[in-house]
Amino acid sequence: MTKTKAQYDLSTKTDYLNRKMFLDPAGPVTIQRFEEVKYNKAVKLEQTARGFFWVPEEVSLTKDSNDFKDSSDAVKHIFTSNLLRQTALDSLQGRAPSQVFTPVVGLPELEALVYNWSFFETNIHSRSYSHIIRNIYNVPKEVFNTIHDTKEIIDMASSIGDYYDKLHVINCKKELGHKINEMDHIKAIWMALNASYGLEAFRFMVSFATSLAMVENRIFIGNGNIISLILQDELLHKEWTAWMINQVVKEDKRFAKAKEECEAEVYAMYEDVIKEEKDWADYLFKMGPVIGLNASILKEFVDYTAVGALKDIGIKYKGEAPKTTPIPWFNKHSDTSKKQTALQENESTNYVIGVMGENVSYDELPEL
């Protein structure tokens, strides 16, 4: 056993401006102070996320309930399967960031970002899916329980969760005083960051495209309004996960080494994500398509998404992909300030989420 840095010992002074993003030798964050920070971008990302605050209960789902009753079996299968998958994804992502990353975070502004991440996934997004299910299905409990029996959802969650579990075990062993090889710990953090990016950049985007295809067909509008708000949040989560992946390599030679040594494993993980998304498309549309979206189009969207998402973290996609998006209407839904949500007071999304202007460009946030 080795002596570990106490999680809640506030007696040790530390210079956060000279600390590392993850696994700093001085230990975890103690005093949360923000009078000066190492990364202003992390502060601005977290502030932007807080400006997006909204609550799902303000969105009316009365019409959605009628839409579901009037839908074909194929549409019911697509809508329900996609909704349950979104519930599972956010259940995973609501718990994991704060559980596995905060014990190894070395900076207050990064810790705040991670806690904000978990808050939105759990208290906003997961509650949103419960709000939808309660209002559309006669016996919500039975609908939720089918998640555990859907192999396609469980396998997909495990392919991400396994990386979180590995890091969690190492974190716990270290906190209990076990001697942990530092490079093994660094690699576990690196793989967990990439697994998280796979969830944010691939899995969420594919599921949202399916939800919004219903809106394009003028059904499930309330659900679509909620998904548009969640999409706005997840685009920001995708942005900051990519930033963490890119920045930690610039800052820390240990992670630069991990990136080099884990290159094949990381790409193989993304290939698995892409394959699973395409398999999911077959499962989703096994009973038939909806107007404007089918398994073939969704698979092309997976490839198209892969090119940009991987490019953002310095990886070239080796697969074939269309040059232009196969779902041209997807982008308009990501700009929620131009949409009118079905709130009880018929307010615009721009008002509900607070302070964001019409065109928010995350790329304008400076690299520091």
Active site residues: 129
In terms of Cβ atoms closer than 10 Å to its own Cβ (0-12, 13-18, 19+), residue 79 is buried
User: Which residue is it, tokens 């208290």?
Assistant: 123
Q: Is the separation of the CB atoms in 126 and 90 below 8 Å?
A: yes
- Cα distances from 24 to residues 2, 15, 27, in angstroms, run 17, 11, 6
Q: Give the list of residues 6+ apart from residue 62 with CB closer than 8 angstroms, or none.
A: 135, 222
Q: Of 291, 275, 333, which is closest to residue 155 (Cα–Cα)? A: 275
Write out the DSSP string of 68-89: HHHS-HHHHHHHHHHHHHHHHH
Element (H, E) at 50: helix 40-51
Q: Is the separation of the CB atoms in 58 and 343 below 8 Å?
A: yes
Q: Is the separation of the CB atoms in 262 and 190 below 8 Å?
A: yes
Q: Given its phi and psi angles, is residue 183 left (phi above 0), alpha (psi -120 to 50 degrees) or beta?
A: alpha
Strand partners, 343: 59
Helix ranges (H only) for 199-252 are 204-216, 221-251
